[in-house]
Amino acid sequence: MSGGTRLENANPLIFQRSGERLLTATDEDEDVADPIDDREIFDIFSKSINDPEHPLSLEELNVVEQMRVNVNDQESMVSVQFTPTIPHCSMATLI
């Protein structure tokens, strides 16, 4: 962070990224109804969103885990539970 702001978690633990989700022919076929699953949502959150304080993904910081993503495609409901890197994380609401 700039401007002399102190990082809340200057030395976070870094976890290994999971592999890429294997896509099938029906996943890429626009004419086939493809239900959304927990892995698809996990990939969106964990790989494309970085922690506000670090240039690391939410997956690398273990903030989001696939087992904490629940999808009910029929009811268009998604629930994602996350774990901040530190208990008193002021950035939790931003994530």
Domains of the chain: 35-95 (3.30.300.130)
- What per-residue confidence (pLDDT) applies to 1? 42
- Going from the C-alpha of 90 to that of each of 7, 8, 9, 43, 59, the distances in angstroms are 11, 8, 11, 24, 19
For the segment 51-71, what is each residue's pLDDT rounded down to a tens digit? 877 788 888 888 888 899 999
Residue 91 has pLDDT above 70, yes or no: yes
Confidence of residue 26 (pLDDT cuts 50, 70, 90): confident
Q: Which among 78, 40, 84 is positioned nearest to 64, based on CA atoms? A: 84
Report residue 35 as tokens: 């239900």
Q: Where does the chain show beta strands of DSSP type E?
A: 64-72, 77-82
Report residue 44 as tokens: 């969106």
Q: Which among 74, 54, 42 is positioned nearest to 13, based on CA atoms? A: 54
CA distance 44 to 8: 25
Report residue 13 as tokens: 């633990």
- Read off φ and ψ for residue 28, nearest 5 degrees: -100, -5
**Single pTM value for the model:** 0.63
